[in-house]
Chain A
Amino acid sequence: MAVFTEPALPPTVSLSPRSATSDPPWIRVCLVGAVVVFLGVLFVLPLVLIFQEALRKGWAAYLGAFADEEMHHAIGLTLQVAAIAVPLNTVFGLAAAWLVARFRFTGSRWLAALIELPLWVSPVITGMSFVLLFGSQGLLGDWLAGHGVKVIFALPGLVLGTLFVTFPFVARVLTPQMQALGRAGEEAALTLGAGPWRVFWSVTLPKVKWSLTHGIILCSARAMGEFGAVSVLSGHIRGATNTLPLHIEVLYNEYQFVPAFAAASLLALLAVFTLILKNLTATAAAGANPS
């Protein structure tokens, strides 16, 4: 027998199932339908087809594609470029976001716009302008050659192109968050006698760590997938300057469809993995800084 008497639940009085401010159902159905069809055709279907093509001749052929020397080199080079470009852009991105969020100076608006420049400049143009600057016929070509430094058609060129293209990602994620969080925490640390490094490491960085992680993930994904700028700067030297996206193009043009799609599936997996990580860090960022 029950010892505690539960209070009777109040009768449900809600008669209309939708809230006062929501749109009529048919609008919601149409919008959801349009988005699902759009995403399905543009994103999901291509992704499925990549794996279908890669596995067309079975798992053995799929895995066999990765046993290739040039494929190894392309994967290694892609990771190497990302390993150099991402840490550098993390530091640059932090510095840029800090400048834009914390200081109002003449030209700060222009600086903020300039940070986003790589997003709307065609990567091919980036590549070509770097060739004009660093190439053997370029502005700095003689000086570089005199010092025995090869930039274009070599690793430094690939890194430079990737740096430029992936520059905005960390700064763009961090700037609005730094602006929103304000600077009261930093000011409190200052009045307590903390120096600039201490303020940065123990107040600013912990506040933005999840957005920073978020930005680094986006930056890494873009760095490994970059095609346009890197394509111009690499010179397509097989087994030497071909990154994974460039190698995919080479394989595809040579009608080696299984290896081409196998390599493409790696980048596709990277994208899916990024999407999951991005959502996890976005949730964590929202949880860490409840307003």
Chain B
Amino acid sequence: MSIHIENITKRFGRFTALDSVSLHIRTGELVALLGPSGSGKTTLLRLIAGLELPDGARGRVQFHDRDVTLAGARERRAGFVFQHYALFNHMTVAENIAFGLRARPRALRPSRAAIDAVVQRLLVTIQMPDFGHRLPGQLSGGQRQRVALARALAVEPEVLLLDEPFGALDARVRRDLRRWLREFHDSTRLTTLFVTHDQEEAFELADRVVVFNDGAIQQAGTPAELRASPASAFVADFLGLPACAV
């Protein structure tokens, strides 16, 4: 599913998180939103998910050909993975993954057996087939992150949004999970956006990198394009390129 964002402005009090941002994401892309903290990348991700609504009347968010500007998170059904996982700590791993399917209105809810089958299939996908009965408190950070992914995927979203997905993990787990996500994306071609402040991570994983600063997009392009011609001194500096290349 493609995502079209036009003229999005978002303020929190007097702080401008996003200033008239426009961006187009093609179907099946794996895109990194890269920037220092407070640059607006997470706010844009939350706006796409419907967890925030844009200010003013000029902004527009479109999923494929559907205008979702004013739709809430519940209607948009974007798969969202939170920075600190936001698992339901009182539910088992299996219950966490099944949550979205069980929350459907009765007419649209799959049968119990069908839900169990989905949960088991996802547990295999995240390589934790025997962890269904565990509680989130008994898992490591990397395992929690994978459960959060499985929970988001269970409702078959058309877009996957990840907020700093590897931020809280140690280096080795981060590398494994990165590789897993790349392989998962290659096999499913699910439109995926992830937020990161680590340029190495963005460059290694993403088809296209969008660089943010001060609530505005500085540059968007493939890693090769960004390396070859950074648009500004900020981009060059943030990507660790020699400033003379500008």
Residues of A whose CB lies within 8 Å of any CB of B are 184-185, 187-195, 198, 202-203, 206-207, 288-290
Contacts and interface: CB of A to CB of B under 8 A. Distances in A.
Main secondary structure of the interface of A (DSSP, over half): helix
6 contacts: A184-B82, A188-B82, A190-B51, A192-B100, A192-B151, A194-B99
B74 interface: yes
Nearest to A187: B51
Given A184-B84, A185-B88, A202-B88, A191 B51 contact: yes
A198 B103 contact: yes
Given A202-B88, A290-B137, A190 B82 contact: no
B103 A191 contact: no
Given A193-B103, A198-B103, A188 B74 contact: no
Majority SS at the chain B contact face: loop
Contacts of B148: 188
B217 interface: no
Given A187-B51, A188-B80, A188-B82, A193 B88 contact: no
A189 B103 contact: yes
A194 B137 CA distance: 23
B40 interface: no
A182 B44 CA distance: 20
Most buried by B among A189, A193, A198: A193
B73 interface: yes
Contacts of B88: 185, 188-189, 202-203, 206
Given A188-B82, A188-B86, A202-B88, 19 more contacts: A184-B84, A187-B51, A187-B80, A187-B82, A188-B80, A189-B88, A190-B51, A191-B74, A191-B80, A192-B99, A192-B103, A192-B152, A193-B104, A194-B74, A194-B100, A195-B103, A206-B88, A207-B89, A290-B137
A184 B89 CA distance: 12
B78 interface: yes
Interface of B: 49-51, 72-74, 76-80, 82, 84, 86-90, 99-100, 103-104, 137, 148, 151-152, 154-155
A202 to B, nearest CB: 7
A281 to B, nearest CB: 16
Given A187-B51, A202-B88, A193 B82 contact: no
Given A198-B103, A290-B137, A191 B90 contact: no
B78 A191 contact: yes
Given A195-B103, A290-B137, A190 B72 contact: yes
A191 B73 contact: yes
A146 to B, nearest CB: 46
Contact of A187 (B86, B89, B90): B86
Contact of B77 (A191, A195, A288): A191
Nearest to B82: A184
Contacts of B87: 185, 188
Given A187-B51, A198-B103, A207-B90, A193 B77 contact: yes
Given A187-B51, A188-B80, A195 B74 contact: yes
B134 to A, nearest CB: 16
Contact of A184 (B86, B99, B103, B151): B86
A184 B151 CA distance: 14
Contacts of A194: 74, 99-100, 103
Nearest to A185: B86
Given A202-B88, A207-B90, A192 B155 contact: yes
A202 B78 CA distance: 20
A207 to B, nearest CB: 7
